[in-house]
Amino acid sequence: MAPISVSKDRPSPQESFTQMADKDLESIGRHCQFEYCNQLDFLPFRCESCRETFCLDHRTETSHRCPKAGEWARRRNAQNSSPSASLPTQKPTIYNSDQCAHLDCKTLINTMKDPGVRCPNCNRQYCLKHRLREGHDCAKITPLGGRPAAAGANANETLRSMFARVRTWGKDKSQAATQSLTPTPKPNSPAARAAQLNTLKRSAKGDTNVPADKRLYLHVVGTSDTQRVDPPKGDFYYDNRWKVGRVLDDVARRLRVENVNNRAEEKERLRIFHVESGEFLEFSDTIGAGKVQSGHTIVLMRGAGVMLGK
């Protein structure tokens, strides 16, 4: 008689055989169905492939030369690869996702991971890192909704006063550039304009990867509020093949002007005003393909699109 094997609480998924329950087997037993064995075993095993009964020595598929070898493994693999078992884990859906209002932060807020915190002073939403007033320079930001949208004659007057200040600034810069030369050329003469452009080229900053023959040198004035007396300004150069929209993004970043064009209403969006032509530039236009030339002045204006109906 074959030796009595130790019973198992549950079969291992890596074995092709299962030990049969010992209920009433002590009285009747089972004969091994291997043709060369046929011995009585009181704790037999059932092959999970051919479903026949074998003793301890012939319980494996190899030992009893199973005619359906591997069938149990194929059934197990089919169960594991069923649609219910192979569904990929879906990522949680992000609802009401917005971007932190801090100029240098790209964190998405109002999500399950990053809640948004509204600043009571500037009325904008920030991530946890920039939620405090000191963290987002709140004192330098105009409160959202605190400035009424300009309309009609008042809006025209506001824009005209801003343009007047910009023109005055441009004239002062031109005079300063020409007075620094010896001898002093006549105002508005070709020599004076060439000297002013050379001065602009020496002071202008920009992307060093832009080829020298493609650089467009400009005086730039940026403003986040048309009521400010002294807007930020500087001299920069840009690739004359860039779109106006790309130039606007770069100006806003360099002069630290809040740019919310991609997520704000028209009254909060920025536009570029070309001082020399007195026209607003379209975002899709190429900056160097129109009237803009080196030595000219461009200005960031907020809310001008409301007046233009765009």
Which pLDDT tens digit goes with each residue over 53-69? Answer: 888 888 888 888 888 88
Q: Which domain holds residue 122?
A: 94-142
- DSSP symbol at 211: -
Residue 113's domain is classified under what CATH number?
4.10.1110.10
Residue 147 domain flag: no
The verdict on 29 and 125 lying in the same domain is no
Q: Give the residue with greater pLDDT, 122 vs 158.
A: 122
| Per-residue pLDDT tens digits for 181-238 | 444 555 567 777 888 888 888 889 999 899 999 999 998 888 755 445 577 888 999 9
> Where do the H-state alpha helices sit in 255-310?
304-308
Using pLDDT thresholds of 50, 70 and 90, give the confidence band for residue 151. Answer: very low
Judgement on whether residues 272 and 218 belong to the same structural domain of the protein: yes
Contacts of 309 (CB under 8 A, 6+ apart): none
Report which of residues 256 and 227 the model is more confident about.
Answer: 256
- Checking if the pLDDT of 148 tops 50, the result is no
Predicted confidence (pLDDT) at residue 303 exceeds the cutoff of 80 = no
Mean residue pLDDT of the chain comes to 75
pLDDT tops 80 at residue 178: no
Co-location of 228 and 282 in the same domain: yes
Per-residue pLDDT, 163: 56
Which pLDDT belongs to residue 239? Answer: 92
243 and 194 inside one domain: yes
- E strands in 67-127: 98-99, 108-109, 117-118, 125-126
Residue 173 lies in a domain: no
Assess whether 64 and 123 both reside in one domain. Answer: no
For the chain, the domain total comes to 3
Q: Please report which helix (H) or strand (E) contains residue 297, including its range.
A: strand 297-302
68 close to 40: Cβ distance less than 8 angstroms = no
Q: Name beta bridge partners: 31.
A: 40
One domain, residues 196 and 106: no
Tokens of 269: 């969006």
